[in-house]
Amino acid sequence: MPQRSDSHQATILVRISQDLEAIVPGFLANRRRDLATIEACLKQGDLNTIRMLGHRMKGDGGGYGFDQISEIGDRLEQAALAQDRASIAAEITHLTDFLAKVTVVYTP
């Protein structure tokens, strides 16, 4: 189970089954690409793409052991539906912070 994080914390430790070790780096790389897409979409006003990416993150995060990504995805989806650009920007910051600080520990 991932540990809760403090935004000032230097590292966020997430414990994940070693069975997922081969696919987790790709999953995180895809979230970094999503982050760049979300930032561009916010500038362009493309809230529908942000909604779809948030929805996908919400569904996929927990399956890979990243509950925080699921939570951020849910908030992104809801903010896009509400056309709440300030909340989308806040979630971009949360996702950026999480991706910068996450350290995965693989467990048997």
In the structure encoding, which two tokens stand for residue 84, read together?
């709440």
Q: At which residue do the structure tokens 């909340």 appear? A: 87
Total-model pTM: 0.89
Neighbour tally for 61: CB within 10 Å: 21
The CA-atom distances, in angstroms, between 71 and each of 4, 60, 67 are 12, 11, 6
In this prediction, residue 8 carries a pLDDT of 59
Q: Residue 103 in contact with residue 52, Cβ under 8 Å? A: no
Per-domain residue ranges of the chain = 21-107
More confident residue, 94 or 10: 94
Sorting pLDDT into bands at 50, 70 and 90, what band is 59? very high
More confident residue, 72 or 3: 72
Q: Residue 66 in contact with residue 2, Cβ under 8 Å? A: yes
